[in-house]
Amino acid sequence: MELSERKKKILRAVIENYIQSAEPVGSKTIVEHANLDVSSATIRNEMVELETLGLLEQPHTSAGRVPSASGYRLYVNELMQEHRLSVQEAQSINEALRLKIREMDQVMTEAGRVISQMTKYPTFSLTTGNARMSIARFDLLLVEENAFIVVVMTNTQIVRTKLIRLSATLSETQLQILNTLLNTSFTGLTLDALIPEYRRIAAHAAGEAHELIQLVVSFTEEVLRELENHVVHTAGITNLLSQPEFQNVDQAEPLMNFLSDLWDSDQLPVSQGEQMKILIGPENVIEELKNTSVIMATYDIGDHMQGVIGVVGPTRMDYAKLAARLSYFAEGMSRMFGKGELPPAPKSDQS
């Protein structure tokens, strides 16, 4: 059943008022706010119907109305007007995209901070879908006769290093041989392929080399695993406390703990394919999020990876504004790191 134009207008007015005030909205407020030329009594009649449709709720008889989860859902799907970013907002996001870019990882972390600061909600960010991440190259650097640095670079040009110390000593030549071996045997391999290949090689290797290879490979495995595990970054968790719905510590604590302990995307209902996903209240599967809404934007990084950035807040969120900010950021990211030539060219401007 399609809602009448007036009902829609009323629903929208209720939601937009409630987003601002965080307090139940009464019929009188609607009359003033939405420019409908009817009396409050008429609004009341309409509101009763909206309530029976499950779009509005009454906290108790004789309080104003509050949007229900499906009310928000309808608003998000149909009623929401696109929000235009202010110049300032766009600039902040641009800064985050440009500044401090050493690795993609950092852009994401930085972006989380900026967006969280802008919105006053906690943000999370992660990469996903990079099951096909592989090793592009190894470099081994001799530091002392019994210590060397491994530099591992992935096909997505993320670089990780580790200092490895040995009980035995090591010559430059030995290290070079090892280096060549690693680069010929292990480059291009994904996490799945890494260990079998290691086993194959190990069978042939002499005792000493064996140990060395093992050390490097296990570090490599660790790196790939870390990157594949979609490490989740969060920012601005304490912002929750400034929201009226979390003035009560009992409400805020479980959610804040949940967010602090986020580390794996398995804990988040990350969307596959959709560019923008909004989960309202009980639509969330995760217990801790059932009283909150989650808005997240997905963007491409190269051909096989995706990034996700999202915010968590009370169901009473300014969906329009948040969606605009997130998608602006996501578009920027897609432009910079998007499909095609992978990786992008993070201009190494000196900061």
What residues line the site for a second copy (CB under 8 A)?
102-103, 137, 139, 141, 143, 149, 151, 153, 157, 159, 161-166, 214-215, 218-219, 222, 236-238, 241-242, 246-249, 252-253, 256-257, 260, 345-348, 350-351
User: Segment contacting DNA (CB under 7 A): 24-32, 163-171, 230-238, 263-271?
Assistant: 24-32
From candidates 45, 180, 242, 257, binder to DNA by CB under 7 A: 45
Smallest separation, CB 264 to a second copy (Å): 16
d(CA 325, CA 328): 5
261 vs 274, which CB is nearer to a second copy? 261
Rounded Cα–Cα distance for residues 319 and 305 (Å): 26
Residue 172 corresponds to which amino acid?
E
Alpha-carbon distance of 224 to 216, in angstroms, equals 12
Is 40 a binding residue for DNA by CB under 7 A? The answer is yes
Q: Does 24 bind DNA (CB under 7 A)?
A: yes
Q: State which of residues 10, 13, 65, 265 lies at the interface with DNA (CB under 7 A).
A: 65
In angstroms, what is the minimal distance from the CB of 162 to a second copy?
5
One residue of 18, 26, 134, 293 binding DNA per CB under 7 A? 26
The residues that bridge with 283 in the sheet, in sequence order, are: none
Do the Cβ atoms of 115 and 123 come closer than 8 Å? yes
Choose, by CB under 7 A, the member of 29, 154, 284, 334 that binds DNA: 29
β-pair type (305-314, 123-128): antiparallel
Residue 29 CB, nearest distance to DNA (Å)? 6
Identify which of residues 131 and 241 has a Cβ nearer to a second copy in the complex: 241
**276-279, strands of its sheet edge to edge:** 233-235, 123-128, 305-314, 292-301, 276-279
- What the block records as the tokens of 138 is 């190894």
- Exposure letters 327-344 (e unless 16+ CB within 10 A, then b): bbbbebbbebbbeeebbb
Binding of DNA at residue 154 (CB under 7 A)?
Answer: no
Beta pairing partners, 88: none
Which residue lies nearer to a second copy by CB, 236 or 307? Answer: 236
Pick the stretch among 40-48, 93-101, 265-273, 284-292 that binds DNA (CB under 7 A): 40-48
Residue 256 Cβ, how far from a second copy at the closest point, in Å? 4
User: Which partner, DNA, a second copy, none, binds residue 29 by CB below 5 to 8 Å per kind?
Assistant: DNA
Stretch of residues binding DNA (CB under 7 A), selected from 42-50, 117-125, 283-291, 308-316: 42-50
Distance, in Å, from the CA atom of 280 to the CA atom of 133, rounded to the nearest integer, reads 33
Q: Which residues pair with 310 in a beta bridge?
A: 124, 296
CA 341 from centre of chain: 23
Spatial CA neighbour of 66 closest among 40, 42, 47: 47
Name the residues that contact DNA, by CB under 7 A: 24, 26-29, 37-42, 44-45, 47-48, 51, 58-65
